[in-house]
Amino acid sequence: MEMRFHKEMNIPVGHVVLKGVLTIPVNAKAIVLFSHGSGSSRLSKRNQQVARYLQGKNFGTLLFDLLTEEEDQYSFNRFDINLLTKRLAGATEWLERLPAAKNCRIGYFGASSGAASALKAAAVLSCIDAVVSRGGRPDLAMDILSKVDAPTLLIVGSLDIEVLQMNQEAFKKLPGKKELEIVTGAGHLFEEPGKMEIVCELAAEWFEKFLVPVHVF
């Protein structure tokens, strides 16, 4: 697929600069930002797989590190949801100002603990039009879930029992359009054959439904 923009980026957020890769297909009308789980980064193979699939569906993607290399050396930073939320919100605001992203709608794809920061950021940013959580920990954002207006899809593996229960409880608190998809035979990381492909399809369908502009004639 032909791209109108594909570049490694330095993203200034507060007093730090975060590394990322922004890819925008020629006719993309929306961009999905990825909020990674603890210990993961823009190099996450699973998130890269989802990003490639979304690009094939004409969505732009921004894969970026929520922590600097120095910050990532301390495990407590990986679970500082408030810090990660600020970084995600800051990167979103940076993207909105970028000429290459002009007129593009914005969605979030959050994985594991990164889903909590995606939901928290979506609760405070009116520009977020859709959220997808893969094996997410929405329980870490339980205090603010009632303020998430963006249509939200929770994807959980049927074998990920504890996280599934957390998602079921969080699902009750989400006020707007929402769905909980349980992928049969999948564990927390969706490493089983064919399971990440299902995640890709579900995410793309959700974003196509809520991020692609509706033309009125």
* Beta-ladder partners of 61: 23, 32
Q: What domains sit in the chain, N to C, each tagged with a CATH number?
A: 3-210 (3.40.50.1820)
Contact 14, 90 (CB under 8 A): yes
Q: Dump the DSSP string for 131-148.
A: EEEES--GGGGTTTGGG-
Rounded-to-integer distance, Cα 136 and Cα 103, Å: 29
Q: How confident is the model over 159-187, as pLDDT tens digits?
A: 999 999 999 999 999 999 999 999 999 99
Contact 110, 118 (CB under 8 A): yes
> Mean pLDDT, the chain, as a whole number?
93
Q: How confident is the model over 90-134, as pLDDT tens digits?
A: 999 999 999 999 999 999 999 998 999 999 999 999 999 999 999
Average pLDDT over residues 132-149: 96
Neighbours of 46 (CB within 10 A): 20
Is residue 216 pLDDT above 50, yes or no? no
- Edge-first strand order for the sheet with 30-35 is 3-13, 16-25, 60-64, 30-35, 105-111, 128-134, 152-157, 178-183
